[in-house]
């Protein structure tokens, strides 16, 4: 695991709490606006930032994140902009990683992407649609650049599959708490604790749970058994409902503070 990412999980473990991981797409509502929003998320208590790389065919994203990604693409957001956003956040002492589907990374160039991301201060990459079997070149370049790799497991994953994914992962293990697309839910799937328990029997990697968390109570529930609580759609929706960028900053900072209380409960 990248040293800065490892330090985030180590510090949270010392404090006997989970890491709060916040997702937000670069370029929404603009490139500069996304930097301001993510900086506000960190001020509120987000420990680790997932900087989303907008993509035109987001298989796992629900309507909230899809709409934000489409807006970012209409505004002209590029992979170079994502790297610049990571660099700006690093300058603000945030700890950013990138969440991206595989196609944009492959088009950009694996070595070029990993090298530029590392130079910008990025600590890792989450690739939800890349399997370990297809990741040989990616494993080589990320190892060379010393950035973490995060792959996903799901409730349907067999123990053998969890072991295979864990061996290919060098960041945290992403446990999707439900089958299907992302989005705010009234409750987090009951399958999540069982999935984390199964994964803990197989790997010592930190385990983050995502897909559905939006409230302090949900964050506290997930933090009781996971090392990381991942929140995305709730932050994006807060910005979509805000009247302007200043209101958006206030909204996401307040939401971050609420969720940060949850992971500390």
Catalytic residue, from 50, 216, 249, 253: name it. Answer: 50
Residues contacting 78, CB < 8 A, separation 6+ = none
Catalytic residue, from 14, 15, 61, 163: name it. Answer: 61
- Give the pair of three-digit tokens for residue 133: 């079997």
Q: Which long-range contacts (CB under 8 A, 24 or more apart) does 185-192 make?
A: 185/211, 185/212, 185/214, 187/212, 187/218, 188/212, 188/213, 188/218, 188/221, 188/222, 189/155, 191/155, 192/155, 192/222, 192/225, 192/226
50 is catalytic: yes
Q: How many H-runs (helices) and E-runs (strands) does the chain carry?
A: 12, 9
Catalytic residues: 50, 61
């Amino acid at each position: 695991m990248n040293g800065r990412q490892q330090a985030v999980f180590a510090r949270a473990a010392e404090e006997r709490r989970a890491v709060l991981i916040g997702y937000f797409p670069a370029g929404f509502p603009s490139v500069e606006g996304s930097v301001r929003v993510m900086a506000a998320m960190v001020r509120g208590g987000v420990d680790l930032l997932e900087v989303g790389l907008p993509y035109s065919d987001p298989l796992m994203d629900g309507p909230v994140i899809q709409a934000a990604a489409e807006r970012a693409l209409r505004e002209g957001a590029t992979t170079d902009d994502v790297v610049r956003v990571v660099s700006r956040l690093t300058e603000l002492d945030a700890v950013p990683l990138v969440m991206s589907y595989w196609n944009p990374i492959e088009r950009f160039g694996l070595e070029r992407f990993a090298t530029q991301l590392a130079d910008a201060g990025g600590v890792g990459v989450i690739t939800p649609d890349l399997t370990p079997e297809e990741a040989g070149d990616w494993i080589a370049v990320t190892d060379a650049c010393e950035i973490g790799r995060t792959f996903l497991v799901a409730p349907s994953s067999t123990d053998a599959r969890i072991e295979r994914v864990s061996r290919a992962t060098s960041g945290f293990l992403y446990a999707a708490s439900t089958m299907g697309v992302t989005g705010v839910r009234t409750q987090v799937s009951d399958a999540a604790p069982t999935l984390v328990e199964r994964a803990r029997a197989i790997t010592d990697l930190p385990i983050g749970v995502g897909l559905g968390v939006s409230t302090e109570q949900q964050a506290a529930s997930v933090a009781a058994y996971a090392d990381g609580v991942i929140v995305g759609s709730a932050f994006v929706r807060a910005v979509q409902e805000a009247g302007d960028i200043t209101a958006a900053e206030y909204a996401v900072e307040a939401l971050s503070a609420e969720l940060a209380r949850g992971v500390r409960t």
